[in-house]
Structure 1
């Protein structure tokens, strides 16, 4: 009896929160033994577009059914009538645990009236709630995915685990904005339906189902993005309809540098970790070979250094050693840009680098083609916070010695060799040119909001005044416009669009003779620029130029909607 009494004292008084070598919290375990829970919302923060529309369609009206309904008489016909399904369908889903009613394998989504009507029935064991059940995601790559990583959770949120707010199995951000803003999004407490069970685990009939949620009216937080949901969905439709397998598009607001739409292919299965680990990354943030799009940088330097006079023999190949694949004759600098003559830009780049070997890096930066272009800065206690932690840096030269090798200079001048830039950076370059040279860091998030809509933190605009003269910017704008207006321009297909377009095409060799990267980057309307758009198809051997088609179709779709 003394030993038994000592054991009870140990359990009840001294080791109630840390019993045995496994440090078991007996108080929590005893509650869990008699009270079970149905999670209806994990408490993680959400994403909305610039106008407040939800980008992740995952909270719906749902009906929860408790297992004792199998053994009692209840008005299942009335519930079936409200849901417009058969009573048999409802009864077949009842199990030994509470379930959220499904139809055709998916959670049955209820209207606000259905939620009200079901709860008005006041049937014990039938509860209609707004639950987080998963759903369609707009801008899946940009928003990103969540997943479980016990080690990371313990390292980053040990205090929350100790406080009992989260468990080591709580999902955290793995990619995209889910990853960048994880510290703000991580749950502050679940919303649950609680019910008592008997010793066999069966729900106790007659006990009230209770709703448990965090009492904090400010959480979970809301991330207000810069996206326009209508433009984003329109972009996704255009890219899907084109049949593009790898690539995508980026649409920026010229004046603010905000992302309005972003699509990356292949698509990311948002609720599957495997899609991310198998390489379905955001191609719009990844650095790729740009091809002739990079000639825009050489053109800016040539205009500023006054290297544009005279005629260029475009019946020579890139190195001036023989005929090119397509002979173009003697062309002016403007004609060379419109028709994308490689020899002209190889020759000019060679002259520029002889005078200043860092000339391409400097002019790329002045055009907004910086190492990275996404917003970065201090946010609360986070130093150098990045909205795009996965953005890959720009590269122009891999080896400094290449600046003294003529063939390496020629290849670099036309965006080949080791040149790598992301579509996001190219879009920022076009936006910079369109607004006259002012460089702005690209943003995807406008502000972090409390649950009640109050602003927790707003992201300020990070801008740099132009270092290029008005003369340079005006001539650069005219060059980009000539690509479309010229009868032999590489962008002449856009002449028939309902708005005026300026831009530059690019076809980049990938190292495999059969596969290329195809680009078109530009802005519109030309007279009063509003949008900067980049469309790119990566590593393709298709005859059709899908990048050009996507650019044209999206511009036309935006114009037709009057947006």
Structure 2
């Protein structure tokens, strides 16, 4: 081949490569027009993808569903106004910083120090000691600042899940970052594989049991746009992006009355109650109206080791004499006694080292009187007449020795679903206990292995009011879509013991005896309360460390003419011989409920 021919082929090849290259670049440019849309800001043309790469965002709302009380008042998800700093290369003039310092309750030096080193958006905190708690501004402050000009600083609406206060609402629980839980969800379901490991999930309480309904479909974020040199882009400013949906996030309606809840929490504060719980149930439905646990917890500051997040209302404790209600029911059902049988109480049982709380004893006393005056000798005697089986069966018929909160085995793909978190079942006799006369006598006094939760104790009263029918207390009544339409209703639920239920007659007898506790027995201090009340007191000796202490109980209902509420009060670890705080708090709780009812009637 001649040299000339070789040159022609070379030039033709070069021309082809050049044309092909131009064609390829043209195709790439056309494709890039859709992916890299140009926008104009401040007279400059900027590639949108480059802008997006320089947007620094902050989450204003996680999109998680919220809880409301039975009257629709919000329990989570309060919208507050918070100050946000976005990273910029140049801070505002000093006069603007001075106005900011006044707004943020700080100094210009602190603002400059924090702002100049920012790599990502920063919500100004309530104090230097509480970096995670946003400074909450007033509506007036937010409106006035909207007239200011400070590039990179905004006052934005922020959804605060909880207030920064302590409360006795451990039933609500808290959320936390749980990468282990997210990974488990991702492994179990394809639809969960996009969930970020930093997402907050329910760790306790209703936040945990209803977590799958609360996750939402996406967050609301605010972004401030800068160019490649960190300069704010005029005309763009702060952008807020969210996923709008007619249905989500969901709203979960609880059975709690927040006003009553807060009122009872205040009562426990005023009484200096250190440890225990107060449970208020609706006498008709069995719903939880209020559930206060002491000590209080702060859902924003969970100390796992401290245990304040634990719900004492569903944890079991030694019940003492309130368990005599079960023994009386068993004795009447088994017909080992009758209400008018006369016992003799000398103050000592003469065996097992047992004695009556009343020095010198009650003398001759009937079963009916023995219940009202809580005579230990009467009930130790009945305990020995009964069998372990009859006591256990009667306890089961009254909802003890088992979890009683609302549950369903088919609600979620055949899995057991329990509304109430942390609930304990309690015991009557330990599996390892060899039952003899002494064990039966001690059990009859609510000691030995017997363990009952305040929720169970309050529900026992509801069971008697329902003629022996056991209800399953609800904490949640329904789940609603964002637009208010109902997604799911949780019906009032009753439980059936495999052993049946106690008779209506026995239930009626026990209710009348509870009234005698107030008129002629250990609850005499309740006379003169706003309502006519009925109930049963209890004191159980417990050992904590090297100290002997008392659990003080009172359970009951009111008003007796038309029962509206059943209440259980447990004050734990009180010094021996101290005044019975359980009775006093029962009265104050009932007076508060009577006042609430009166206010409602006036409004009607």
TM bucket by the smaller chain?
Answer: 0.7 to 0.9
- Determine if the alignment matches structure 1 residue 42 to structure 2 residue 62: yes
1:500 aligned residue: 532
Q: Distance in 2 between matches of 1:90 and 1:207?
A: 28
Other structure's SS at 2:321 match: helix
CA contact 2:372–2:517 (8 Å) conserved in 1: yes
- Determine if the alignment matches structure 1 residue 454 to structure 2 residue 482: no
- Determine if the alignment matches structure 1 residue 100 to structure 2 residue 158: no
2:35 aligned residue: none
Contiguous gaps of at least 5 residues in structure 2: 1-27, 29-48, 600-604
- Between stretches 55-64 and 251-260, larger displacement belongs to 55-64
Give the alignment partner of residue 200 of structure 2, picking from 161, 168, 171. Answer: 171
Other structure's SS at 1:36 match: strand
Listed as ranges, the matches of 1:476-495 within 5 Å are 476-486=510-520, 489-495=521-527
Give the alignment partner of residue 51 of structure 1, picking from 71, 79, 100. Answer: 71
Give the alignment partner of residue 135 of structure 1, picking from 163, 182, 188. Answer: 163
Q: Distance in 2 between matches of 1:477 and 1:507?
A: 20
Listed as ranges, the matches of 1:195-274 within 5 Å are 195-199=224-228, 204=233, 207-274=236-303
Pair 1:164–1:70, CA change in 2 (3 A): farther
Q: Distance in 2 between matches of 1:303 and 1:557?
A: 35
Pair 1:196–1:70, CA change in 2 (3 A): closer
Give the alignment partner of residue 551 of structure 1, picking from 586, 591, 594. Answer: 586
For 1:289-326, what per-residue CA distance to the aligned partner results, in whole angstroms no more than 9, with x for missing partners? 10011000111122233312421111153455786452
- Determine if the alignment matches structure 1 residue 420 to structure 2 residue 462: no
How far has the Cα of 1:107 moved from its partner?
Answer: 3.3
Listed as ranges, the matches of 1:340-379 within 5 Å are 340-353=374-387, 357-369=388-400, 371-377=402-408, 378-379=410-411
Other structure's SS at 1:514 match: strand
How far has the Cα of 1:397 moved from its partner?
Answer: 0.6
Q: Distance in 1 between matches of 2:226 and 2:421?
A: 46
CA contact 1:42–1:190 (8 Å) conserved in 2: yes
1:3 aligned residue: none
For 1:234-256, what per-residue CA distance to the aligned partner results, in whole angstroms no more than 9, with x for missing partners? 01100111111111211111111
Pair 1:433–1:136, CA change in 2 (3 A): farther
For 1:164-183, what per-residue CA distance to the aligned partner results, in whole angstroms no more than 9, with x for missing partners? 75311212111111111111
Give the alignment partner of residue 417 of structure 2, picking from 374, 382, 385. Answer: 385
Other structure's SS at 2:386 match: helix
CA contact 2:60–2:157 (8 Å) conserved in 1: yes
Q: Distance in 2 between matches of 1:57 and 1:136?
A: 12
CA contact 1:165–1:188 (8 Å) conserved in 2: no
How far has the Cα of 1:389 moved from its partner?
Answer: 3.4
CA contact 1:82–1:114 (8 Å) conserved in 2: no
1:5 aligned residue: none
Other structure's SS at 2:310 match: coil
CA contact 1:56–1:136 (8 Å) conserved in 2: no
2:437 aligned residue: 406
Give the alignment partner of residue 520 of structure 1, picking from 554, 564, 570. Answer: 554
- The TM-score with structure 2 as length reference comes to 0.79
- Determine if the alignment matches structure 1 residue 510 to structure 2 residue 542: yes
Other structure's SS at 2:314 match: coil
Pair 1:245–1:86, CA change in 2 (3 A): closer
Q: Distance in 2 between matches of 1:76 and 1:511?
A: 63
1:4 aligned residue: none
Other structure's SS at 1:337 match: helix
CA contact 2:56–2:121 (8 Å) conserved in 1: no
CA contact 2:85–2:123 (8 Å) conserved in 1: yes
Pair 1:81–1:168, CA change in 2 (3 A): closer
CA contact 1:44–1:186 (8 Å) conserved in 2: yes
Contiguous gaps of at least 5 residues in structure 1: 1-11, 13-28
Q: Distance in 1 between matches of 2:193 and 2:226?
A: 22
Pair 1:226–1:213, CA change in 2 (3 A): same
How far has the Cα of 1:359 moved from its partner?
Answer: 1.2
Between structures 1 and 2, the one with greater strand share = 2
1:25 aligned residue: none
Give the alignment partner of residue 430 of structure 1, picking from 444, 452, 461. Answer: 461
For 1:464-502, what per-residue CA distance to the aligned partner results, in whole angstroms no more than 9, with x for missing partners? 57833332122111111111100xx11111112111111
Other structure's SS at 1:189 match: coil
Pair 1:483–1:125, CA change in 2 (3 A): same
- Determine if the alignment matches structure 1 residue 471 to structure 2 residue 505: yes
Give the alignment partner of residue 310 of structure 1, picking from 341, 345, 364. Answer: 341
